[in-house]
Amino acid sequence: MLSKIDDIDLQIVTLQKHCEELENFPSDETVVAIKNLYLCAIQEAERIKESPQDIYTIAISVRNLFEIYMISLYLKKSDEIINQWYGQLLKDVLDIQEGLISLFSKHGIHNSNLELAREQTINSGLRNGVEQSKPFNIKGIAKQLGWEEDYDAIYKLCSKIVHPSSVKVNLPNAFEKNDEYIGSLVHVAIHYMHLIVDGTKHKSV
């Protein structure tokens, strides 16, 4: 029987092979988007391997793997959704740049490099015909795809560990002291890795 780490390794290798196979597909926006999601899933799995006792890191990766799985399913539904996904890329970059500019400005700092970068980002979007899009509502996607119970369970679990919740603040390291919590979270991560890998077997991308 595979250990948890060996199982993660197996899923990583399978996804890596599929990413290599995608290199032989005609390059289009859907193929690139799905490949990037698979690469992101590999990164999350690698983080768990590197920090197998860090419940904070594992919780973030579990949440991210679930979101990657939801987005990978959702992107395959239509070209319009793919366009929205790339529109979010533009908006994400602009939000980061504008957030930094706003913070610096609040403290009396003028950062011309950031402002130039923002203008370049806007112009790049115009040149490529990309319109800004709002982020996906993962809860809405999960409900639409029939995964709402998973969403609720994961966010209740992971948010208590990741955010400064009362239990995290008042009982520091309580979860880390119990290997059962860590082992259960790693098991959940492996579950979603399997689902992501299974998705590569049944879809053209």
Residue extents of the structural domains in the chain: 4-90+142-202
Q: What is the pLDDT of residue 134?
A: 94
Query: Smallest Cα–Cα separation from 133: which of 143, 125, 145, 124?
Result: 125
Asked if residues 205 and 31 have their Cβ atoms less than 8 Å apart, the reply is: yes
Q: What is the pLDDT of residue 38?
A: 95
Q: What is the pLDDT of residue 205?
A: 63
Tell me the angle at which helices 179-202 and 55-75 cross, rounded to the nearest 10 degrees.
20
Distance CA 94, CA 144 (A): 29
Q: What is the pLDDT of residue 142?
A: 97
Query: Smallest Cα–Cα separation from 5: which of 197, 195, 187, 194?
Result: 187
Q: What is the pLDDT of residue 203?
A: 52
Amino acid, single-letter form, for residue 183: G
Scan for tokens 């799905």, then name that residue. Answer: 34
Q: pTM of the full predicted structure?
A: 0.91
Query: Smallest Cα–Cα separation from 68: which of 205, 192, 204?
Result: 192
Q: What is the pLDDT of residue 175?
A: 79
Residue 1 CB-half CA count within 13 A = 2
Distance CA 105, CA 114 (A): 11
Distance CA 65, CA 182 (A): 16
Q: What is the pLDDT of residue 176?
A: 79
- One digit per residue, pLDDT tens: the chain, 205 residues? 789 999 999 999 999 999 999 988 887 899 999 999 999 999 999 999 999 889 999 999 999 999 999 999 999 999 999 999 999 999 999 999 999 999 999 999 999 999 999 999 999 999 999 999 999 999 999 999 999 999 999 998 899 899 999 988 998 888 777 788 899 999 999 999 999 998 876 555 6
